[in-house]
Amino acid sequence: MTAVEIPVEKWSGTVRDVTLGSSYGGGTRTSTVTVGGETALPFLDFEGALPHRPALAVEVVDMEPADWSPELVAVWGDDLKDPAKWAARAVAEGADLIALKLRSCHPDFGDRSATDARATVDRVLAAVGVPLIVYGPGTADKDNDVLVAVAEATKGEQLALGLCEEKNYRTIVAAALGNGHLVIAQTPIDVNLAKQLNILISDMRLPLERVLMDPNTGALGYGLEYTYSVMERLRLAALMGDAMTQQPMICTIGEEAWRQKEGRAATDVPAAWGELAERGVAWEVTTAMTLLEAGADILVLRHPSSVGVLREALDDLMKGA
C-alpha cells in the first residue's frame, strides 16, 4: 500500500480570542468562556491551533414563550415560567453559558421597562455562575433603552450584548464600551456587510476582542447553505489575514431550527418523519453540526438533549486539538 501524504494548508491569520464573563475582574461570574483563537479551519488540528472548543449556550426567555414547539414546552415544563430556574436547569443540562432574551420588553409582548429588565438580569446572574449573553427585545428604540440600562447595572460581568446591528450599533457599542461588555454584531447573511459592521464598531474604539459576529442563521432546509457559505468565506478571509473578519462567530441555532415545521409539527406529517421529539432534536443538532464545520464558535440552542449530543460530538471532534 502506498502512503498518501495529506496536504497541509498553512494560514497566516488568527481568529481573535474573545472572552465572556468577568475576566477583567469586578463581576460575579464563577466561570469564563473564551472562544476563537483558531489558526486553521474547523477541527483540522493538523493544520493549526484550535485552542478553544466551541461553546454551547442555552436560550432562556424572560417570559413564558407562547409560540414555542410543543416538544420544547414538554421538556422544559414549568421552568419556562421563571428565567432564573430555567437558566439554572440549563446549566445543569450542560450549558457553558446562558443567552437571555428580554422579550417581555418588546412593545408587542408586554412592553416591560428597563428597570424590570435589570431585575430579570440580576435574578439570572444570581441563579447561575456561567457568563451571560443578553439580547434586547429586537426593536431599535427599546433595545437602546433596555440594553443601556442593563449594561450600566452589570458593569464588570462582561456580558455579550445583542443585537448590535447597522441601525443601532452606536448606542449598543457605547453601552458596552463604557461598562466592560461585549457586543454581538449581526448582519443579514452577507459577507460584505459583516465586515463593514466590524469596521464601524472598531471605529468607535471598542476593541475587537470584545466583538462576536452573528452572520444570521438559516436552519437546515431553510437557507442553511447560505449561512454556511457566508461563514466559510468569512473564516477563510480571517485565516488569510483580513483583520476585520477575524471575529468568533455565534449562531442562533435553536431559534431557527425549532420554528420550522420539522421542529413543531406532531401530527399531520408523513409517517417517515417520525416522532416530533426525536425529529426536532435531530433538526437542531444537524443545523448545529453543519455550522460548526463552517466555523461557528458559540451555538445558541433550545433543547437540553441537543446540548448533550453536541457536547459528545465536540469531545470527539476536539480530540487531539
- Residues at the contact surface with other proteins, assessed by CB under 8 A: 191-193, 195-196, 199-200, 203, 233-234, 237, 242-245
For the bound state, the minimum distance from the C-beta of residue 204 to other proteins, rounded and expressed in Å, comes to 13
For the bound state, the minimum distance from the C-beta of residue 74 to other proteins, rounded and expressed in Å, comes to 44
Distance CA 188, CA 166 (A): 10
Residues 6+ apart with CB under 8 A from 208: 16, 198, 201, 202, 243, 246, 247
What's 22's DSSP letter? S
For the bound state, the minimum distance from the C-beta of residue 233 to other proteins, rounded and expressed in Å, comes to 7
Of residues 243 and 265, the one with the C-beta less far from other proteins: 243
Alpha carbon 173 to its chain centroid, in Å, reads 18
Sign of the CA dihedral with 170 first, then 174, 175, and 177 last: positive
Of residues 14 and 305, the one with the C-beta less far from other proteins: 14
For the bound state, the minimum distance from the C-beta of residue 216 to other proteins, rounded and expressed in Å, comes to 16
Residue 64 φ/ψ region, left for φ over 0, alpha for ψ in the -120 to 50 degree band, beta for the rest? beta
Distance CA 165, CA 103 (A): 17
Of residues 13 and 254, the one with the C-beta less far from other proteins: 13
Q: Which amino acid does the sequence have at 28?
A: T
For the bound state, the minimum distance from the C-beta of residue 253 to other proteins, rounded and expressed in Å, comes to 24
Residue 228's closest CA among 292, 296, 301, 294?
294
For the bound state, the minimum distance from the C-beta of residue 199 to other proteins, rounded and expressed in Å, comes to 4
Of residues 182 and 244, the one with the C-beta less far from other proteins: 244
Of residues 288 and 294, the one with the C-beta less far from other proteins: 294
